[in-house]
Structure 1
Amino acid sequence: MVRRVLVIGAGASGLVCIKTCLDEGLEPVCFESSDDIGGLWRFESESERTSIYRSLVTNTSKEMMCFSDFPMPADYPNYLHNAQLLQYYRLYADHFGLRRHIRFQIKVTHARPRPDFSQSGQWDVITVDREGLEEKHIFDGVLVCSGHYTQPICPLGEFPGHEQFTGRCLHSWEYKDADDFRGKRVVVVGIGSSGGDLAAEISRSAAKTFLSTRKGAWVVGRMSSGGLPLDMIAISRFTNTLKNLLPKRLINWASERVLNQKYDHRLYGLMPRKRILDGGVLINDDLPGRILQGGLVMKTNLCGFTASGLVFEDGTVEEDIDAVVFCTGYRAVFPFLPLSLSDGPGGELSLYKRVFPPSLEPPTLAIMGLFRTKGPIMPIVEMQVRWALKVFTSSCHLAIKERMLCVIDSERRIFMGR
């Protein structure tokens, strides 16, 4: 019988996992490798761990992203600065007494099924503290909440001539603020959420900023009709019903027409390859304005380096570049888990409904928050952990392994086809 549950990480996902375990009458033990809660959302100017940059503001509103049983304070703005969101996590943890279940500066180095796993479902876990002291534990279930922003992907080696480039190259996980780029010529590579934010922010300090993209993006502001937050309008039963009833081509045409009437994406160098319903949406209030003012110049895909510059796909070259910031994403890695679970393409985890490895029987390990969504993540993680604990305690059951593998393969083909 599942009783003692390990929670790895005390970020947003870890906190709600602890809370839900307590609601279900289970005994949660959370190991957090740093000295405080908050995970990715705890800004640190000097740190070797991944954390956000100083100016980061949420892309989802407080009304949509809060936990179901703990509304955000009324005096909070609709979109939160990272310091306010961290304060919300502190309020949440204190209100429900979660801190006493967290052990700080403890890193999980090993989590393996016990020899009798097929009968007990238990896990052997090894941790190490800041002094290097190892400790062994046994848990009935494991909830992995360490996130997918763990290993930066920096494709520098893929570009010819990078060895001779004399400027600075860094990944966005190293970026804290624009002070280091004041008066310089900077290229930002990638137009995801970080790429858009960093390019706009750096362009206010740098002498010239370029944003290189291979796929473009549909740029949408945080404010929607009537001055309401975008997600409150875009994510609703009504809009979901319309998407199911109306032809996809019609929705794409109408949505893209509205955005292009505000600023022509092709004229601004932002025109994406994907239709709007197929992804490629960037929530950013500043990017088009910075392009319009000339502080930011759009460039095509990066192709290579010279000694002091960069070569782009359209044949143009920008010389005298001081720094290149790669906003090229992260790879989710879980070195403490068995390698046998990383059986997907490129060694990724294959997960049923983005939660359960189908090869584990009984299913007493679940991965939290390892997905991308068009809306807020926190409410979805809350639903994930409720489901996971029901499976842990046999209150509900998963499909047979063959069916789970079929679903995983189908979802992967749909994703790759986008």
Structure 2
Amino acid sequence: MVRRVAVIGAGAAGLASVKCCLEEGLEPTCFESSEDIGGLWRYTDSTDDGRVTVYRSVISNTSKEMSCFSDFPFPEDFPSYLPHSLVLEYLRMYARRFDLLRHVRFQTTVLSVRKRPDFLTSGRWEVVTECSGVRESHVFDAVMVCTGHYQEPYLPLAAFPGIESHFKGQRLHSREYRDVQAFRGKRVLVVGIGNTGGDLSVELSHVAAKVFLSTRSNTWVMSRVSHHGFPLDMVGTTRFNFLLEWLLPSALTRRIKFRKFNSWFNHTNYGLASSKSSKFKVIINEELPFCLLSGTVVLKPNVKEFTESAAVFEDGTTEENIDVVLFATGYNFSFPFLEESVRGAIEDNRSLYNCVFPPQLEKPTLAIIGLIQLMGSIIAGSEMQARWVTGVFAGWNKLPPPSRMMAEVLKRKPPVKRNPFERENLKMSFIGYVDKIAACAGVKPSVSRLLLTDPRLALAIFFGPCSPYQYRLVGRGSWSGARAAILSQWQRALKPLRTRVLADSAGSSWAWCWLCLLALPAALIAGLLLSKYPQPGWSPRAG
């Protein structure tokens, strides 16, 4: 029986894991190598300690209503999109509210996690830690690894001939970037057009002599601001949209998406993406189109090679006098403390059952939390993983036998291992994945049942944002404030903007009421469809 649980890392996923352990009556001990909580969101100017943090100017890409812990909303006066300082403040509030810090051992590095000799019968692990030069050995019934996937910078120098042997300028990875001051007046080449590459290109354009952004990907750019000024994810991440995408042919869905992307600006004219592209990524950036339009950022194809001071691109063009090459090429994950038999089997999250459990273990007492790429909040996704995992440890949630889990994993794994540079392709639907884990944990809400008992809430759940509060309506860990949080989320999104209040349209509330009445038949049909033809993986027993 699981009682003592080691939690490795005190970032957002680690804190959620500690709380979930406590809710299930388990005894967590969290090991954090630094001196404070927050993980990635605790910004520091220094790069010497090797710890990965956000850069100074970062703003969250997911809104507060879609990124919160499911029973702990952000303060209503916080803006919808948050700087790192407010995310960290929120994490501190969460830790205080649920008294989590007494379970965290700071400045304690985990050196190794190995199976005990009796693992086949006990499932226990030996965890060796080091604090102030003193090593300790501990025995735990289970381990939750919450170190995330932003760990080791991925720097593909071999893919760029001449960068090491000829180029005389400065080169660095985005992990080393903090602010623009060191780049003032310089000609900078940014390699990679993910969210980080886009953000840094825009920021550098304010002080650099010239910024070139090199990409080999088809990339669609979206704004955080959606219809009527509401946050993009609150408008787009709905069960109605998810069902529609599932019902429609994939070719039609893709065409609708491309038309929507191009409604802001024609991406082909900007050299970013073509509607004929089958592989593409989506980034969030309000300023990049204007920077391209004004010439402060110049888009370039993939780099073919470097000379002493120039970059030669695959289209044959050359840009001279490059001072700095900034690689925004992402990260590799690593778990150096895990024993080789476990570590070697984890190539990416598809090597794990439901992206959490290593399926080859005889006892499911090791879980990887937060190794996911979602089209939505990783904080919310990690918390759901932690709720499911601690339910498994406590005996409430059941897993299939290892053979079935392994078979499921083998079905998902591709025949060829992907390059980490292409991990955008590993992104999963937020609703699809979190619903799947929620079903396993017995906390997925039923729209059809709510239509009979609470139609107003059912409509808000189906047509409104799929916010984390939905997963606190039923099952273990249900929260009495979930319904009110769902029905008031639009008001909380607007609250920080009410610094100059104007008269509202008198008919706006009535318009919403009529919309709900008209939508009721559609919601009923959708509920029947979902109950009669459930989506793959939605069953608690799916596996």
The TM-score range, normalised by the shorter chain, is: over 0.9
Residue equivalent to 2:186: 184
Structure 1 position 261, deviation (Å) = 3.3
The answer to whether the Cα contact below 8 Å between 2:211 and 2:298 also exists between their aligned partners in 1 is yes
Query: Where do 1:313-332 residues align within 5 Å?
Result: 313-332=314-333
Matches for 1:115-130 after TM superposition, within 5 Å: 115-129=117-131
Q: Please say if residues 309 and 319 of structure 1, whose CA atoms lie closer than 8 Å, have aligned partners that are also in contact.
A: yes
- Whether contact under 8 Å (2:143, 2:366) holds in the other structure is yes
Is the contact between residue 14 and residue 30 of structure 2 (CA under 8 Å) also seen in structure 1? yes
* 1:298 and 2:292 matched: no
Question: How far apart are residue 381 of structure 1 and its match?
Answer: 1.1
Distance, in Å, in 2 between the alignment partners of 1:189 and 1:273 is 23
Inter-partner Cα distance in structure 2 for 1:81 and 1:359: 40
How far apart, CA to CA, are the structure 1 residues paired with 2:393 and 2:277?
A: 40
CA deviations on 1:175-225 (whole Å, 9 max, x unpaired) are 001111111000000111111111111111100000000013110000111
- Cα distance in 1 for partners of 2:276, 2:412 equals 18
What pairs with 1:278-293 in structure 2 (closer than 5 Å)?
280-293=281-294
Partner of 1:396: 397
Match of 2:18 in 1: 18
Question: Does the 8 Å contact 1:274/1:280 carry over to 2?
Answer: no
**Partner SS, residue 413 of structure 2:** helix
Q: Which stretch of the first structure deviates more once superposed, 118-127 or 403-412?
A: 403-412
Secondary structure, aligned partner of 1:127: strand
1:178–1:202 CA contact under 8 A, matched in 2:
yes
Report if aligned partners of 1:32, 1:106 keep a CA contact under 8 Å in 2.
yes
Map of 1:220 onto structure 2: 222
Distance in 1 separating the partners of 2:274 and 2:120: 49
- The gaps in structure 1 that reach 5 residues or longer are none
**Map of 1:88 onto structure 2:** 90
- Structure 2 Cα separation of the partners of residues 245 and 63 of structure 1: 27
In 2, Cα distance between equivalents of 1:230 and 1:122: 44
**Structure 2 CA distance, aligned partners of 1:272 and 1:320?**
31
Q: CA deviation at 1:250?
A: 1.5
Q: Distance in 2 between matches of 1:309 and 1:208?
A: 13
Cα pair distance change 1:348/1:63, threshold 3 Å: closer
Q: Which has the higher helix share?
A: 2
- Counterparts of 1:39 and 1:23, CA distance in 2: 23
User: Distance in 1 between the 2:349 and 2:401 partners?
Assistant: 21
Contact kept? 2:218, 2:277, Cα under 8 Å: no
Matching residue of 1:381: 382
Letter paired with 2:409: I
Partner residue in 2 for 1:109: 111
SS of 2:127's partner is strand
**1:115-154 alignment runs, 5 A limit:** 115-129=117-131, 131-154=132-155
Please say if 1:3 is aligned against 2:37.
no
Shift of residue 282, structure 1, vs aligned partner:
0.6
Shift of the alpha carbon at 1:271?
1.0
Q: Kindly indicate whether the alpha-carbon contact (under 8 Å) linking 1:126 and 1:134 is maintained by their aligned counterparts in 2.
A: yes
The match for 1:410 is: 411
TM score, norm. by length of structure 1: 0.96
2:349–2:372 contact (8 Å) kept in structure 1: no
- Flag the 1:145–1:311 CA change in 2: closer, same or farther, 3 A: same
Question: What is the CA distance between 1:347 and its match in structure 2?
Answer: 8.4
In the aligned structure 1, how far is the partner of 2:29 from the partner of 2:89?
A: 22
Computed over aligned residues only, the root mean square deviation of the Cα atoms, in angstroms, reads: 1.9
Q: How big is the shift at 1:348?
A: 8.0
In the alignment, residue 341 of structure 2 is paired with which amino acid? Answer: S
Letter of the 1:103 partner, please give it: R
Q: Give the 3 Å change call, closer, same or farther, for CA 243–327 of structure 1 in structure 2.
A: same
**What residue number does 1:237 align with?**
239
Give CA-to-partner distance per residue, 1:267-296, whole Å, 9 cap, x none.
1121168858x6511111111111011100
SS in 1 for 2:54: coil
Distance in 2 (CA, whole Å) between partners of 1:325 and 1:28 is 40
Decide which moves more: 109-118 or 342-351: 342-351
Q: Does 1:71 align with 2:73?
A: yes
Q: 1:352, 1:408 within 8 Å by CA — same for their partners in 2?
A: yes
Q: For residue 378 of structure 1, what is the amino acid of its counterpart?
A: I
After TM superposition, give the deviation of residue 121 of structure 1 in Å.
1.0
Aligned in 2, Cα 1:12/1:275: closer, same or farther, shift over 3 Å?
farther
Shift of 1:341: 1.6
- Superposed CA deviations along residues 358-397 of structure 1, whole A, max 9, x for unmatched, are 1112110000000101011112111111111122233232
1:324 is paired with a residue whose SS is strand
Q: Deviations over 1:41-66 (max 9, x none)?
A: 10000132111100000000000110
Show the counterpart of 1:202.
Answer: 204
Deviations 1:290-313 (A, max 9, x none): 101110000001111001011111
Aligned equivalents of 1:274, 1:139: Cα separation in 2: 53
Unaligned runs of 5+ in 2: 426-543
- After TM superposition, what 4+ stretches of structure 1 lie above 3 angstroms from structure 2? 272-276, 342-349, 414-418
CA shift digits 1:114-143 (9 cap, x unpaired): 0001111111010011x2211111111100
8 Å contact from structure 1 (residues 216, 273) kept in 2: no
Q: Residues 54 and 143 (structure 1 numbering): CA distance in 2 closer, same or farther, change over 3 Å?
A: same
Go from structure 1 to structure 2 and tell me whether the alpha carbon gap of 1:274 and 1:214 turns closer, same or farther (over 3 Å shift).
farther
AA paired with 2:384? Answer: M
Q: Say which is worse superposed, 244-253 or 188-197, in terms of deviation.
A: 244-253
Code of the aligned partner of 1:46? S
Q: Is the 8 A contact 2:360 2:406 kept in 1?
A: no
Q: Number of matched residues? A: 416
Counterparts in 2 of 1:71 and 1:218: CA distance versus 1, 3 Å = same
Contact 2:367 2:389 in 1 (8 A): yes
Q: Would the aligned equivalents of 2:168 and 2:309 in 1 still touch at CA under 8 Å?
A: yes
Q: Secondary structure at the match of 1:43?
A: coil
Give the partner amino acid of 2:8.
I
In 2, the alpha carbon distance for the partners of 1:92 and 1:405 equals 36
TM-score under structure 2 length normalisation: 0.74
1:39 maps to 2:39: yes
Q: Which residue of 2 aligns with 1:250?
A: 252
Q: Which residue of 1 aligns with 2:362?
A: 361
Secondary structure of residue in 2 paired with 1:402: helix
8 Å contact kept, 1:199–1:209: yes
Greater alpha carbon shift after TM alignment, 6-15 vs 248-257: 248-257
What is the identity, as a one-letter code, of the residue corresponding to 2:386?
A: V
